[in-house]
Amino acid sequence: MSTETNQMTAKDLITDQEVRWCPGCGDYSILKQVQTVIPELGLKRENIVFISGIGCSSRFPYYIETYGMHSIHGRATAIASGLKSVRNDLSVWLVTGDGDSMSIGGNHFIHMMRRNFDVNILLFNNEIYGLTKGQYSPTSHEGQITKSSPYGAIDHAFNPAALCLGADSTFVARAMDRDPIQLREVLKRAHLHKGTSILEIYQNCNVFNDGAFEIFTEKATKKLTTLFVNHGQPLVFGENNRKGIKLDGFAPTIVDLETTSENDLWIHDEKDRTKAGILSRMFDHPSTEGAMPRPFGVFYSEDRACYEDLLNQQVEDVTNKRGKGKLDDILKGNSVWEIK
Amino acid sequence: MINSTEIKEDVTIMFAGDSGDGIQLTGTQFTDTAALFGNDISTFPNFPAEIRAPQGTLAGVSGFQLHFGSIEMNTPGDALDVLVVMNAAALKANIKSLKIGGTILANTDGFDPKNLKLAKYPDGVNPIKDGSLDGYKVYEIDVTKHTKSALADSGLGTKEAERSKNMFVLGFIYWMYHRNMEHSIKFLEEKFKKRPDLIEANIKVLKAGYNFGDTSEAFNSRFEVKAAPMPKGIYRGIMGNQATALGLIAAAEKSGLGLFYGTYPITPASDILHELSKHKNFGVKTFQAEDEIAAICAAIGASFGGSLGVTASSGPGIALKTEAMGLALMLELPLVIINVQRGGPSTGMPTKTEQADLLQAIYGRNGEAPLAVVAASTPSDCFEMVFEACRLAIEHMTPVMFLSDGFIANGAEPWRFPNASELKNIKVQFAKEKNKGDKFMPYLRDKKLVRPWAIPGVAGLEHRIGGIEKEDITGNISYDPDNHEHMVKTRAAKIDNIADYIPLQTIDNGAADADVLILGWGGTYGALRNATAELLAEGKSVAHAHVKYMHPFPKNLEILLRNHKQVLIPELNNGQLIKIIRDKFLIPAHGLNKIQGLPFYSADIKNAVYKLLN
Q: Which amino acid is at B47?
A: F
The alpha carbon of residue B508 is apart from the nearest alpha carbon of chain A, in Å, by: 23
The alpha carbon of residue B36 is apart from the nearest alpha carbon of chain A, in Å, by: 6
A76-86 vs B292-304: helix crossing angle, rounded to 10: 50
Higher-pLDDT residue of B362, B214: B362
Q: Taking the complete model, does pTM exceed 0.90, yes or no?
A: yes
- Is pLDDT at A222 greater than 50 in this prediction? yes
Residue B304: its chain A contacts at CB < 8 A?
69, 79, 82-83
B255 burial level (CB within 10 Å; 0-12, 13-18, 19+): buried
Instruction: Write down the mean pLDDT value for chain B.
Output: 95
Of B283, B305, B419, the CB nearest to A328: B419
Distance CA B207, CA B210 (A): 5
Q: Looking at the complex, does the CB of residue A260 fall below 8 Å from at least one CB of chain B?
A: no
**Confidence band, pLDDT 50/70/90 cuts, at residue B1:** very low
Cβ–Cβ under 8 Å, residues A235 and A244: yes
Cβ–Cβ under 8 Å, residues A180 and A29: yes
| Percentage of chain B exceeding pLDDT 70 | 99
Residue among B533, B608, B612, B520 at smallest CA distance from B561 = B520
Q: Looking at the complex, does the CB of residue B35 fall below 8 Å from at least one CB of chain A?
A: yes
Strand partners, B239: B412
Distance CA B338, CA B119 (A): 38
CB contact under 8 A, A85 and B294: no
Residue A336: its chain B contacts at CB < 8 A?
234-236
CB contact under 8 A, A86 and B231: no
By mean pLDDT, which of B57-66, B312-321, B454-463 is the weakest? B57-66
Instruction: Provide the chain B residues 329-388 that lie in CB contact (below 8 A) with chain A.
Output: 331
- Is pLDDT at B120 greater than 50 in this prediction? yes
Cβ–Cβ under 8 Å, residues B550 and B498: no
**What are the backbone dihedrals phi and psi of residue B131, each rounded to the nearest 5 degrees, phi first?**
85, 0
Q: Is residue A306 part of a domain?
A: no
**pLDDT value at residue B222:** 87
Residue A14: its chain B contacts at CB < 8 A?
none
Distance CA B80, CA B91 (A): 12
The alpha carbon of residue B301 is apart from the nearest alpha carbon of chain A, in Å, by: 4
Label the pairing between strands B233-239 and A336-339: antiparallel
Domain B509-613 -> CATH class = alpha beta
Mean pLDDT for A298-322 is 98
Domain, as residue range, for A199: 2-218
Each domain of chain B, given as residue ranges in start order, spans: 4-225, 237-422, 429-502, 509-613
Calculate the alpha carbon distances from A163 to A60, A140, A230, A280 in Å. Answer: 24, 15, 21, 9
B168 contacts: CB under 8 Å, gap ≥ 6: B143, B146, B147, B150, B205, B206, B208, B209, B212
3-state secondary structure of B284: coil
CB contact under 8 A, A49 and B456: yes
Q: What share of chain B is helix, strand, coil (3-state, %, to 5)?
A: 40, 25, 35
Of A45, A49, A336, the CB nearest to B236: A336
CB contact under 8 A, A69 and B463: no
Of A66, A89, A339, the CB nearest to B230: A339
Strand partners, A245: A254
Domain tally, chain A: 1
Calculate the alpha carbon distances from A80 to A83, A283, B313 in Å. Answer: 5, 30, 21
Cβ–Cβ under 8 Å, residues A77 and A112: yes
Distance CA B584, CA B273 (A): 36
Dihedral over Cα of B564, B566, B567, B570: its sign: negative
Distance CA B396, CA B516 (A): 36
What does the pLDDT look like over A134-166, one tens digit per residue? 999 999 999 999 999 999 999 999 999 999 999
Q: How many residues does chain B have?
A: 614
Label the pairing between strands B372-375 and B549-551: antiparallel
Q: How many residues does chain A have?
A: 340
Of B35, B227, B464, the CB nearest to A62: B464
Q: Which amino acid is at A221?
A: T
- Name the strand (E) or helix (H) holding B562: helix B557-562
Calculate the alpha carbon distances from B30 to B37, B363, B465 in Å. Answer: 11, 43, 55
Q: Which amino acid is at B284?
A: V
Residue among A29, A72, A66, A30 at smallest CA distance from A48 = A66
- Is pLDDT at B275 greater than 50 in this prediction? yes
CB contact under 8 A, B305 and A325: no
CB contact under 8 A, A331 and B246: yes
Mean pLDDT for B143-148 is 94
Q: Looking at the complex, does the CB of residue B411 fall below 8 Å from at least one CB of chain A?
A: no
Residue A104: its chain B contacts at CB < 8 A?
none
B325 contacts: CB under 8 Å, gap ≥ 6: B296, B335, B337, B365, B369, B371, B399, B401
The alpha carbon of residue A142 is apart from the nearest alpha carbon of chain B, in Å, by: 30
**What are the backbone dihedrals phi and psi of residue A180, each rounded to the nearest 5 degrees, phi first?**
-60, -35
Residue among A106, A84, A99, A109 at smallest CA distance from A139 = A99
**DSSP conformation class of B522:** G
Calculate the alpha carbon distances from A245 to A4, A19, A264, A282, B78 in Å. Answer: 46, 42, 9, 11, 79
Mean pLDDT for B325-330 is 98
By mean pLDDT, which of A107-111, B157-161, B440-444 is the weakest? B157-161
Distance CA A182, CA A177 (A): 9
The domains spanning B4-225 and B237-422 adopt the same CATH topology? no
Q: Is residue A239 part of a domain?
A: no
What does the pLDDT look like over B194-244, one tens digit per residue? 999 999 999 999 999 999 998 887 777 789 999 998 999 999 999 999 999
Q: Is residue A47 part of a domain?
A: yes
Q: Topology of domain B237-422, per CATH?
A: Rossmann fold (3.40.50)
What does the pLDDT look like over B75-102, one tens digit per residue? 999 999 999 999 999 999 999 999 999 9
Distance CA A127, CA A98 (A): 7
Residue B291: its chain A contacts at CB < 8 A?
107-108
Cβ–Cβ under 8 Å, residues A324 and B215: no
CB contact under 8 A, A325 and B282: yes
**Confidence band, pLDDT 50/70/90 cuts, at residue A1:** very low
CB contact under 8 A, A70 and B465: yes
- Long-range pairs for A63-66: beta carbons < 8 A, 24 or more residues apart: A63/A14, A63/A15, A63/A17, A63/A19, A63/A31, A64/A13, A64/A14, A64/A15, A64/A31, A64/A34, A64/A35, A65/A12, A65/A13, A65/A14, A65/A15, A65/B462, A66/A13, A66/B462
**What are the backbone dihedrals phi and psi of residue A172, each rounded to the nearest 5 degrees, phi first?**
-130, 125
Instruction: Provide the chain A residues 56-75 that lie in CB contact (below 8 A) with chain B.
Output: 61-62, 65-72, 75
Q: Looking at the complex, does the CB of residue B436 fall below 8 Å from at least one CB of chain A?
A: no
- Name the strand (E) or helix (H) holding B223: strand B221-225
A13 contacts: CB under 8 Å, gap ≥ 6: A34, A35, A38, A39, A45, A64, A65, A66
Label the pairing between strands A243-248 and B10-18: unpaired
Distance CA B545, CA B298 (A): 37
B51 burial level (CB within 10 Å; 0-12, 13-18, 19+): exposed
Residue B282: its chain A contacts at CB < 8 A?
324-325, 327, 330
Of B282, B297, B460, the CB nearest to A75: B297
Q: Cα dihedral angle (B497, B500, B503, B509), rounded to 10 degrees? A: 80
Higher-pLDDT residue of B20, B180: B180
- Is pLDDT at B578 greater than 80 in this prediction? yes
Q: Is residue A282 part of a domain?
A: no
Query: How many C-beta atoms surround the C-beta of residue B3 within 10 A?
Result: 11
**pLDDT value at residue B582:** 98
Distance CA B358, CA B574 (A): 11
Cβ–Cβ under 8 Å, residues A62 and A23: no
Q: Looking at the complex, does the CB of residue A313 fall below 8 Å from at least one CB of chain B?
A: no
CB contact under 8 A, A82 and B468: no
Strand partners, A51: A69, A94
ipTM of the complex: 0.97
CB contact under 8 A, A78 and B307: no
Of B300, B462, B466, the CB nearest to A45: B462
Secondary structure of chain A in HEC code, one letter for each residue: CHHHHHHCCHHHHECCCCCCCCCCCCHHHHHHHHHHHHHHHCCCHHHEEEEECCCCHHHHHHHECCEEEECCCCCHHHHHHHHHHHCCCCEEEEEEEHHHHHHHCHHHHHHHHHHCCCEEEEEEECCCECCCCCECCCCCCCCCCECCECCCCCCCCCCHHHHHHHCCCCEEEEEECCCHHHHHHHHHHHHHCCCCEEEEEECCCCCCCCCCCHHHHCHHHHHHHEEEECCCCECEECHHHCEEEEEECCEEEEEECCCCCHHHCCECCCCCHHHHHHHHCCCCCCCCCCCCCEEEEEEEECCCCCHHHHHHHHHHHHHHHHCCCCHHHHHHCCCEEEEC
Task: Supply the CATH number for residue A204's domain.
Answer: 3.40.50.970
Q: Topology of domain B4-225, per CATH?
A: Pyruvate-ferredoxin Oxidoreductase; domain 3 (3.40.920)
- Long-range pairs for A244-251: beta carbons < 8 A, 24 or more residues apart: A245/A292, A245/A293, A247/A275, A247/A278, A250/A274, A250/A278
What does the pLDDT look like over B3-17, one tens digit per residue? 678 899 999 999 999
Distance CA B172, CA B57 (A): 25
DSSP alpha helix (H) spans, B158-283: 158-162, 165-176, 182-191, 196-215, 240-255, 270-278
Query: How many C-beta atoms surround the C-beta of residue A39 within 10 A?
Result: 18
Q: Looking at the complex, does the CB of residue B273 fall below 8 Å from at least one CB of chain A?
A: no
Q: Give me the DSSP letters along B296-334.
A: HHHHHHHHHTTSEEEEEE-HHHHHHHHHHHHHHHHHT--
Cβ–Cβ under 8 Å, residues A29 and A181: no
